[in-house]
Structure 1
């Protein structure tokens, strides 16, 4: 499931004017990063768990889509700012990824643990996935009635 989603996210990034650079020079534990100012993402080809790369890319794209120019200044100021900025990107990543799952799974059998497992989303986001998935299906239902 992941390869076609990754390819689609790369096309979406290009369409949105977000440059994605893949580096093979980073250590296995060096996380990807995004620059709001330069609308670019650096992804780590050597990441120790390749299954996490799709969510990582969505997360980094979301930093650019949901961020603002003050994020980089606030990011290092306090843990609270850091956590809020990261959580906003996590939510944005989930919203970017939900259509790939929800358009292929009937709402009656869709479930957030399955989505989290399939896309290797950190398990602490399961409750957020549940809320956003419910909103996604509700919105889909209201636009089709």
Structure 2
């Protein structure tokens, strides 16, 4: 994988730049907020076509996945009303946003000819939370 912390940071920043440019290319914005707490969630604001990302998130390696997830809400046209309708709806929308994030990260890998030995090294490299591994396993 990466040999030094500096290389890991550079690789993460490159993915983040690509995701932000991808959003801008599609007329969406990504804003970083330095929330007071490291577990404050990031959010998508469809009415402003913007995702607000907690830059103080407790696991910095998850930020690329989180950006992709919030962009998923925007690109897929999820609304706050739809999100609040029911817990079943919320689960469906969260799953769709997670799937969209995986789509973006695999697109990034394809474009940059990045290949992984297995889905777990892919997940680790892009900070995919363990509670989302079921999505990878379903596609395997």
Q: How many residues align?
A: 128
Q: How far does residue 131 in structure 1 lie from its aligned partner after superposition?
A: 4.7
Cα root mean square deviation, aligned: 1.8
Tell me if the contact between 1:62 and 1:93 (Cα under 8 Å) persists in the aligned partners. yes
Query: Is 1:122 matched up with 2:129?
Result: yes
Query: Is 1:55 matched up with 2:65?
Result: yes
Q: How far does residue 8 in structure 1 lie from its aligned partner after superposition?
A: 0.5
State the alpha-carbon separation in 1 of the partners of residues 117 and 77 from structure 2: 29
TM-score, normalising length: structure 2? 0.81
1:86 maps to 94
State the alpha-carbon separation in 2 of the partners of residues 72 and 94 from structure 1: 22
Q: How far does residue 26 in structure 1 lie from its aligned partner after superposition?
A: 3.5
Q: How far does residue 81 in structure 1 lie from its aligned partner after superposition?
A: 0.8
2:106 maps to 98
Runs (5+) with no aligned partner, structure 2: 1-10
2:76 maps to 66
Tell me which stretches of 4 or more aligned residues in structure 1 moved more than 4 Å.
none
State the alpha-carbon separation in 2 of the partners of residues 130 and 118 from structure 1: 16
Higher radius of gyration, 1 or 2: 1
Runs (5+) with no aligned partner, structure 1: 135-145
Deviations 1:66-119 (A, max 9, x none): 134xx31121222111110100000000000012334311xxx64211111111
